[in-house]
């Protein structure tokens, strides 16, 4: 259960692994969190996204039907959509936490982020995206470069609040009629500085590189 006054997405992000990036507590304080999911069915799939501020204010929810060729493409399309919606509502100096239930996508996002800070712009691990997602991956990369800081956490699909939106877009069409909101989170609460990540976080990420 989310702590009182805290975003459910923030809690999920704090408690989930961030592939290739060490996850010390001071990096948890994102300004915005976006959870996305894509679904594929031969009868028709969907894309879902949920965006919140760190203090739990809902910024947007999206549930839209889509016809991706496979599940991988659906996941990339969903993140592209979610980041596009967030970019229209968040300042460019925002710190963003991404939550997806697709291992390779979370890994690719963090590799791309780390590559921007490398002298040769090389990611720590090779980035490989399905050919059919190339257009959407380019769009995702453009959005990654449009925020002050961004990183992705990998969550389980049964924890992903975007999962039902993507899997039953017709049922959740009403969320698309929610009024547009452009909100800023409340100032972060004061926390004691931490020099080292918790042991469980360090172990979970195999001593990965820190980015901020």
Given a cut of 60, is residue 191 above it in pLDDT? no
**Mean pLDDT calculated for residue range 134-149:** 93
Collect all residues with Cβ–Cβ distance below 8 Å to 55 and sequence separation of at least 6: 5, 6, 7, 185, 186
pLDDT tens-digit series, residues 53-75: 988 889 999 999 998 899 999 99
Output the pLDDT for position 206.
46
d(CA 158, CA 28): 22
Closest CA to 108 of 47, 150, 53: 150
Q: Are strands 95-100 and 32-39 parallel, antiparallel or unpaired?
A: parallel
Instruction: Report the Cα 178 to chain-centroid distance in Å.
Output: 21
The two structure tokens encoding residue 64: 């839209």
pLDDT tens-digit series, residues 73-89: 999 999 999 999 999 99
The two structure tokens encoding residue 88: 């229209």
d(CA 187, CA 204): 29
Instruction: Report the Cα 90 to chain-centroid distance in Å.
Output: 14
Mean per-residue pLDDT of the chain? 83
In the chain, DSSP assigns E strands to 32-39, 45-53, 58-66, 95-100, 149-154
Given a cut of 60, is residue 170 above it in pLDDT? yes
Output the pLDDT for position 20.
84
pLDDT category of residue 1 using cuts at 50, 70 and 90: very low
C-alpha Rg value of the chain to the nearest Å: 16
pLDDT > 90: percent of the chain: 51
Output the pLDDT for position 157.
93
Output the pLDDT for position 111.
93
Closest CA to 114 of 132, 127, 98: 127
The two structure tokens encoding residue 38: 């894509």
Look at 126 and 164; give whichever has higher pLDDT. 164
pLDDT tens-digit series, residues 7-61: 689 999 988 988 888 765 555 678 999 999 999 988 789 999 999 998 888 999 9
d(CA 212, CA 157): 27
Look at 117 and 37; give whichever has higher pLDDT. 37
């Amino acid at each position: 259960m989310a702590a009182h006054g805290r975003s459910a997405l923030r809690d999920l992000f704090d408690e989930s692994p961030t592939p290739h990036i060490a996850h010390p507590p001071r990096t948890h304080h994102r300004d915005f969190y976006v959870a996305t999911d894509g679904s594929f069915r031969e009868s028709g799939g969907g894309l879902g996204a949920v965006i919140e501020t760190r203090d739990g204010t809902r910024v947007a929810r999206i549930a839209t039907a889509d016809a991706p060729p496979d599940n991988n493409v659906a996941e990339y399309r969903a993140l592209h959509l979610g980041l596009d919606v967030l970019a229209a509502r968040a300042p460019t100096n925002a710190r963003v936490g991404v939550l997806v239930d697709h291992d390779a996508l979370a890994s690719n996002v963090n590799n791309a982020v780390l590559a921007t800070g490398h002298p040769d712009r090389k990611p720590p691990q090779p980035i490989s995206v399905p050919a059919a997602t190339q257009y959407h991956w380019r769009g995702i990369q453009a959005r990654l470069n449009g925020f002050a800081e961004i990183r992705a956490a990998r969550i389980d699909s049964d924890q992903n609040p975007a999962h039902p939106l993507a899997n039953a877009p017709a049922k959740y069409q009403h969320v698309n009629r929610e009024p547009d909101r452009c909100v800023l989170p409340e100032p972060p609460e004061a926390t004691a500085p931490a020099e080292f990540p918790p042991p469980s976080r360090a172990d979970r990420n195999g001593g990965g590189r820190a980015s901020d």
